[in-house]
């Protein structure tokens, strides 16, 4: 763990040299001071203790320091991860989603591999909040997020981008392939049973899927996916709109 951490930051060789140097320097300086004070009156055992003590103490001190460095690095990593997450659902947040989307579109440009983006919205969510309360609304969002995250692939990025809206980034995936996966999400949500909110018989989502093509189109891609999602709402909800084509849910 410590070696990996130091190598990741390019410090492994430096720390190793400093540790060895400090051990040797401690032994030489300690021996010089003791010899200057006591001269030849030191016995063999005294010389042994004088030399061995810094050899043991310096690595121990270095090890303790490195453990503190590891703990600090872990704490910073946890804080960084928390800053990328939505506190209610545990999904990634909008800021992280847009950052990864820009990177993925750029990679697609370099290698000719397009990615797809979907925006999903929980149908009639305002009615759920108004009639059953915000706690019920929060439970719906959390369960929808969990169910969708269980379906998306490891290479995909699922995020809550605001309110009852979620987004999915599907790298190296055509719009047709993306639609197939997002349709699975729709069916998964449609089949959910909300035991914590027994007044709800069913929750559905509407979504729009688009293909992203160039790195300067991040805002345009999000707008197009959002527009497709609203088309799905207008056409009856509980469906996915792919590009210019509407695909009705059962």
Our CA angle for 65, 69, 74, nearest 5°, is 150
Active site residue 164: yes
Q: How far, in whole angstroms, is CA 115 from its chain's centroid?
A: 19
Sequence-distant (6+) residues with CB within 8 A of 185 are 120, 147, 148, 151, 152, 168, 205, 207
> Dihedral angle at the C-alpha atoms of 192, 117, 137, 248, nearest 10 degrees?
-50
Catalytic residue (choose from 81, 104, 139, 164): 164
123 Cβ neighbours under 8 A, 6+ residues apart: 203, 204, 205, 206, 233, 237, 238
CB 167 within 8 A of CB 95: no
Q: Which residues are catalytic?
A: 164
């Amino acid at each position: 763990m410590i070696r990996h951490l130091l190598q990741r930051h390019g410090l492994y060789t430096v720390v190793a040299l400093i540790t060895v140097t400090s051990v040797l320097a401690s032994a030489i300086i300690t021996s010089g001071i003791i010899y200057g004070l006591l001269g030849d009156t030191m016995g063999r055992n005294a010389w042994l203790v004088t030399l061995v003590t810094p050899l043991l103490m310096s690595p121990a001190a270095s090890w303790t320091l490195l453990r503190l460095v590891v703990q600090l690095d872990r704490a910073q990593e946890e804080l960084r991860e928390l800053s990328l997450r939505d506190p209610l659902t545990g999904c990634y947040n909008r800021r992280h989603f847009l950052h990864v989307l820009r990177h993925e579109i750029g990679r697609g440009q370099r290698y000719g591999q397009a990615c797809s983006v979907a925006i999903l919205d929980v149908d009639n969510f305002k009615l759920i909040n108004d009639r059953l309360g915000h706690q019920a609304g929060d439970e719906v969002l959390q369960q929808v997020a969990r169910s969708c995250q269980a379906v998306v692939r490891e290479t995909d990025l699922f995020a809550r981008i605001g309110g009852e809206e979620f987004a999915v980034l599907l790298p190296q995936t055509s719009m047709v392939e993306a639609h197939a996966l997002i349709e699975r999400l729709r069916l998964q949500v449609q089949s959910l049973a909300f035991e914590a909110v027994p007044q709800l018989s069913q929750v559905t989502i509407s979504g729009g899927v688009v293909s992203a093509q160039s790195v300067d189109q991040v805002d345009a891609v999000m707008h197009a996916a959002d527009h497709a999602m609203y088309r799905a709402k207008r056409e009856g909800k509980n469906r996915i709109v792919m590009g210019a084509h509407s695909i009705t849910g059962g």
